[in-house]
Amino acid sequence: MKSINKYIRLIALLYAGLSMFSSCEPEENYPTLEPSIMWKILPDTSISVFSSGLSRAGLSKVLNNPGNTYTVFPVANESLRLFLADTSRHEGFASITELGNDLDMLTAIMNYHLVPAVKLTTAELQALPAVNTVEGTAISISPLDNGIRLNNKATTTATNQQLAVNGAIHTIDSLLIPATVNIRSLRQTIQADPDLSTFYAAIGRVSAANATLKAFFNGTSSLRTVFAPTNAAFADYFRRFPADRSVANMNTQKLTNLVNFLILQGAGKRNQAYFTGATERTNFTRAGRPVFVTITGAPFRFGTANVVIPDVNAFRGVIHVIDAIPVPGVGF
């Protein structure tokens, strides 16, 4: 009898345990976590070029973090490739990888496609006049019947919308460039300024025979800092040295030396804040020895020349416009 009662109690305990287990909510009824923005973007082959730009700019981890909310405007591959191939707008890069050779510029462009702290649907975007970006400047918005237009240029539709746990993704058909970013090369930037036309003629002439200088100015070499004399500065130089007469008539080696003197030897974009009055090495060498110049930041001076327009950023370079050509030692 005792063994039977013991068996009955065991059965009752097992039944109670099964009842408790069966009363628990099934696991599949719990909500599943949506993928992050980056997990939505990575498998999408239609925006893979833009995705590689995000990765190169170090933004993948940011967009993968569920605690960071963003609205993202990636660019469709074909539209981005057409832009990258348009050398009339830029020079020195034909891919996201090459654009990444100026990482600050690439990061600014990628950040211009990110709207922080909000998860905006197409309908919500249609009701807004503009959105602020991570880059720091705003993107204007115009509503369309089934989508929006950004900066009166790029468009997206409701069908391109993807929602992630930490944001929204809207694929657009054109790359957006913030007004604060100049994607042109040093050469193109100098060419666009009519007050630097004499300097443009000088770099054109020396670049034709000097592959290193050509690479500096068209953005295919390392980042450079250039001091660009105005037309008036060149006119003053030729008055002081009439034997040189003009850029067209100047001795080729002498002109090359002059241009090299206006380029800092070390790689890097050096803005006004960098200079503290130290002696800086130029790209000009005389008899195998480097030629130096003293550069102060306040007031901003290149030797005896005043910097009249500082910090003109370009792709892989920065330009400081000067009002004179200081002649080092015995000249060029």
The rounded distance, in Å, linking the Cα atoms of 77 and 236 is 50
| 21 pLDDT more than 90 | no
Residues for the chain: how many in total?
332
Residue 322 clears pLDDT 80, i.e. is over it: yes
- Show the 3-state SS of the chain: CHHHHHHHHHHHHHHHHHHHHHHCCCHHHCCCCCCCHHHHHCCCHHHHHHHHHHHHCCCHHHHHCCCCCEEECCECHHHHHHHHCCCCCCCCCCCHHHHCCCHHHHHHHHHCCEEECCCCCHHHHHCCCEEECCCCCEEEEEECCCEEEECCCEEEEHHHEEEECCEEEECECCCCCCCCCCCCEHHHHHHCCHHHHHHHHHHHHHHHHCHHHHHHHHCCCCCEEEEEECHHHHHHHHHHCCCCCCCCCCCHHHHHHHHHHCEECCCCCCCHHHCCCCEEEEEEEECCEEEEEEEEECCEEECCEEEEEEEEEEECEEEEEECCCCCCCCCC
What is the second-level CATH architecture of the domain 37-170?
Roll (2.30)
Residue extents of the structural domains in the chain:
37-170, 186-322
209-227: per-residue pLDDT in tens?
A: 999 999 999 999 999 999 9
Q: Please tell me the distance from the alpha carbon of residue 150 to that of residue 72, in angstroms, as a whole number.
A: 12
pTM of the prediction?
0.87
Condensed to tens digits (0 to 9), the pLDDT of residues 256-308 reads 999 999 999 999 999 999 999 999 999 999 999 999 999 999 999 999 999 99
Give yes or no on whether 37-170 and 186-322 have one common fold.
Answer: yes
Q: Which of 253, 272, 263, 317 is nearest to 290 (CA)?
A: 263
| Beta pairing class for 300-302 and 161-164 | unpaired
Stretch 57-65: mean pLDDT: 97
Q: Which CATH superfamily is domain 186-322 in?
A: FAS1 domain (2.30.180.10)
Quote the pLDDT of residue 33.
67
Neighbours of 18 (CB within 10 A): 10
Q: Going by DSSP bridges, is the β-strand pair 147-150/138-143 parallel, antiparallel, or unpaired?
A: antiparallel
- What local confidence, expressed as pLDDT, does residue 20 receive? 40
Query: Measured between alpha carbons, how far is residue 316 from residues 25, 52, 225, 275, 282 in Å?
Result: 60, 20, 9, 19, 17
